[in-house]
Amino acid sequence: MSPYVPILVLLGIAFAFSLLTVGLGMILGPRRYGTAKMEAYESGIQPTPRAVGGGRFPVKYYLVAMLFIIFDIEGVFLLPFAVAFDSLGMFALAEMVLFVATVFVAYAYVWRRGGLEWE
């Protein structure tokens, strides 16, 4: 329990801060509404109800999501490795280097083939 106390305190501070700023803005800020304020600015176009694609994202995003997941899973393995590193020994280090290298090779392929470029 005790090692997480700082994290919890930090979480609490973050939560309180976000509440505080939003709340203070609501209480203290002046509020004036009128038709003109709701209109688009001078040369802005009329806001349309929905973008043409229905708010869809390009499928290219899938590649980014997939890469994220790959490194996420790598992270899951790295966590116990890092925690237990001093009692694991050299063999585990070799294993981990092999594992990370394998995943990196795939990453290099994606990078060199332009999978990370957004056009």
Interaction of residue 15 with other proteins, rule CB under 8 A: no
In the DSSP assignment, the letter for residue 48 is: P
Interaction of residue 13 with other proteins, rule CB under 8 A: no
Spatial separation of the C-alpha atoms in residues 113 and 67, rounded to whole Å? 14
Q: Is the CB of 20 or the CB of 93 nearer to other proteins?
A: 93
User: CB under 8 Å to 115, separation ≥6 — which residues?
Assistant: 63, 67
Interaction of residue 6 with other proteins, rule CB under 8 A: no
Q: Fill in the amino acid letter for 93.
A: L
Give Cα 14 to chain centroid, integer Å. Answer: 17
Provide the minimum distance between the beta carbon of 56 and other proteins in the complex, in angstroms, as a whole number. 5
| 74, 92 contact by CB (below 8 A) | no
Interaction of residue 19 with other proteins, rule CB under 8 A: no
Q: How many residues bind other proteins (CB under 8 A)?
A: 72
Residues in 91-110 that interact with other proteins by CB under 8 A: 91-92, 95-96, 98-99, 102-103, 105-110
Q: State which of residues 4, 25, 28, 118 lies at the interface with other proteins (CB under 8 A).
A: 4
Provide the minimum distance between the beta carbon of 20 and other proteins in the complex, in angstroms, as a whole number. 18
Enter the tokens of residue 88: 């694991």
Q: Is the CB of 20 or the CB of 94 nearer to other proteins?
A: 94
User: CB under 8 Å to 78, separation ≥6 — which residues?
Assistant: 96
